[in-house]
Amino acid sequence: MTKAARVFAARFLLALVALLALLPALGAESAWAAQRRVKIAVTSQWLREVASFICGDQATVRSLSVMDEAGRERLVARPARGEIIIAFDAADAARHRISEKNKNLRLLFDKVQVTEDELRGAFFDPAMLPFVAQEIMKAVSKIDPESYAYYQRRLAEFQSRIDSAIGVGRHMLAGSGAKLLDLTGAEGVWIRSSIPGVVRPPDEVWNGWLAGDETAMRAALDEASRRGWLLLLDPWTPEAIRAAAVAYPNRLTLAAPSGDGDIFVFFHDMLTMIAARLGENQPDKK
């Protein structure tokens, strides 16, 4: 072996020994970071979707309830020892059998002054989502004040992602001329903000349908069908309206959030599904 080769081999061996010596320290640092991460339990899958984004890498967030395909939530877990609990208000905590006196409980609001349907719709409302996200940011910042600047940046990014997601939806179906009749119970708020050509029955008409005016409802659905409009439903479409809508083949039922992914990926998938279905309805252009 030449002298140059021996020098290279020696240096390589020293570098390898140094790297191996660092591995335990790196592992310990990683374990410390994982241990330091704030552990948060939220009462609903809705809160998990937003809180996971705001918390990023600084916290682990899990939901105490899960949602089935029909959009029904059910309690599946209890808070773990030392876990911070975030609920909308005291009534929300009580529904999950969590005492208002629990020292680990954090309430986003003193009292939520909306119905359950309105609260659900807020998570699909581009105007309301930042407000909910801001309250979550305040709550987690009090839990972990050292990461306040990080949570602020995540909140700003959250707003930016909302604007971007809406822009993508408008671009996706711009100029298509397609029309949709919004029969959703919640998700239509996001759809109407993102896609042109979405028609929502006025409140008085909608309430009349729910009150039993089947003649008016079927007349509206017949007219929408005649015009080639896509009927849009979701898991929370009222049963009376769903039962009438299933008689029309040109319809699409959106899925509920799975709760195990990025909320903005879900929004994008929702718009992609609509665009694909509308594309199927377009005549071939040759």
pTM above 0.85, yes or no: no
What ranges in the chain are assigned the alpha helix state H?
3-36, 45-55, 90-95, 116-122, 129-143, 148-172, 188-194, 203-210, 214-226, 239-245, 263-281
What are 170-199's pLDDT values in tens digits? 888 776 778 999 999 999 999 999 888 899
Mean pLDDT of the region 105-129: 89
Q: What pLDDT was estimated at residue 11?
A: 56
pLDDT at 7 over 50: no
Q: What pLDDT was estimated at residue 171?
A: 84
Query: What is the phi/psi pair of residue 15, to 5°?
Result: -65, -40
Q: Which residue has the tokens 């021996």?
A: 6
Distance of alpha carbon 271 from alpha carbon 277, whole angstroms: 10
Q: Provide the pLDDT confidence category of residue 33 given band limits of 50, 70 and 90.
A: very low
Instruction: Give the least confident one: 21-25, 99-103, 173-177, 247-251.
Output: 21-25
pLDDT at 38 over 50: yes
Residue 286, both tokens: 């040759």
Mean pLDDT of the region 268-281: 86
What are 217-236's pLDDT values in tens digits? 999 999 999 999 999 999 99
Residue type, 266: F
Q: What pLDDT was estimated at residue 25?
A: 39
More confidently predicted of 195 and 140: 140
pLDDT at 123 over 80: yes
Q: What pLDDT was estimated at residue 30?
A: 38
Q: Provide the pLDDT confidence category of residue 243 given band limits of 50, 70 and 90.
A: very high
What are 71-85's pLDDT values in tens digits? 888 888 899 988 999
Q: What pLDDT was estimated at residue 19?
A: 47
Closest C-alpha among 202, 246, 266 to residue 49: 266
Instruction: Give the least confident one: 90-94, 259-263, 282-286.
Output: 282-286
Q: What pLDDT was estimated at residue 282?
A: 59
3-state secondary structure 137-159: HHHHHHHCHHHHHHHHHHHHHHH
Q: Provide the pLDDT confidence category of residue 152 given band limits of 50, 70 and 90.
A: very high
